[in-house]
Amino acid sequence: MTDSRKSLALHLGVVALLAASFFVLPEYHVGALARIMVLAVYAIGYNILFGYAGLLSLGHALFFAAGMYGFGLSVNLGGVPAGPALALGALTAFLTSAVVGFLALRTKGVAFMIVTLMFAQAGYLAILHFGAVTRGDEGFVIERASRTLFGLDMADDRARFWAALVLFSVCFAGSAAMVKSRFGRALIAVRENEERARMLGYDTHRLKLAAVLLSGTLSGVGGAAYALLFGYVGATFATAQYSIFPLLWVLLGGAGTVVGPLIGVLFMFHLIDLSSGLTDAYLLIVGVALLLLCLFAPKGLAGEVRARGLRWLP
């Protein structure tokens, strides 16, 4: 079997396994898996920028929140139906990433990290400042009647799960296709050696800007979908914590691997869920587990599997 067919079989197998989980898992775990798949879309967006373009952002919560508030405010204040509101959420994230990319890409390395963090913090403070509209830290709930898409009630557990699976599958397949495209390979060239890529004739600045736009928009789609499926919009999702989460997910799962973001979210979600049931100091357990993974699997779980034998793993 060729590497391409192995990769296709892997992707189809992952989607089939997620679909089968609906029929075998308890109700609580089905709901948790829907949340995991939406957050995995966010992680896939982050992986495009960090894993493939090699740009470390500490402000991706800004894009996630932009999509979330773009959707939530258009529904609650504008009375926009869920479908067009999702498009507005994605557009909000796209415009936000365009502004951030245009300005932040004037810097490199540590400066880029700091600038993205500052943008995200500015976004969080703006949400608090305009609390009369955004409801600040309290956030707001999206009414069930406004969460209908294609005639389906997204507040229903079954509809929520299948909607999350469809969204994840599309983004998952799109990420795999991007990696094999000329654009994806050019991004990897920039990540590995930007100067050499420039010497070969690539417009590295344009490639990095495209990566920021694609990454930010996809992260915003994840935020808008989260608001639709779970009916809540809040400033918590714009904090630095939600900028660190996708970095941890991608590092744990394997930066620069297509399946890594899902593995990272699955691992982190269940690690926090299980450890919080054992002790109030669950973050200590999480920290120790992350430290051990960084020491013994520095390339992430999927990255180590690829390095140790499955070279075809995308």
Q: With respect to residue 260, please indicate whether it lies within any of the assigned structural domains.
A: no
Residue 40 domain boundaries: 3-239
Residue 172: inside a domain, yes or no? yes
**Residue 174 CB: number of other CB atoms within 10 A?**
15
In sequence order, what are the residues at sequence separation of 6 or more whose Cβ sits closer than 8 angstroms to the Cβ of residue 125?
none
Residue 312 pLDDT = 66
125 located within any domain: yes
Cα 135-140-146 angle, rounded to 5 deg: 135
**To the nearest 10°, the Cα dihedral for 167, 168, 174, 176?**
-170
255 within some domain:
no
Asked if residue 61 is part of any domain, the answer here is yes
Counting the structural domains of the chain, the total is 1
Q: With beta carbons less than 8 A apart as the criterion, state whether 82 and 148 touch.
A: yes
Decide if 58 is inside a domain: yes
C-alpha span between 155 and 233 (Å, rounded): 15
pLDDT at residue 76, rounded to an integer: 87
The residue type of 230 is F
Q: What is the pLDDT of residue 313?
A: 66
**What was the pLDDT predicted at 72?**
92
Domain membership of residue 8 (yes or no) is: yes
Question: Domain for residue 276, yes or no?
Answer: no
Dist CA 232 CA 137 (whole Å): 12
Encode the chain (314 residues) as per-residue pLDDT tens digits: 676 777 778 888 889 999 999 999 888 889 999 999 999 999 999 999 999 999 999 999 999 999 999 999 999 888 889 899 999 999 999 999 999 999 999 998 889 999 999 999 999 999 999 988 988 888 888 988 888 888 888 888 899 999 999 999 999 999 989 988 999 999 999 998 889 999 888 999 999 999 999 999 999 999 999 999 999 999 999 998 899 999 999 998 888 888 989 999 999 888 888 888 778 877 788 788 888 887 888 888 887 877 777 776 66
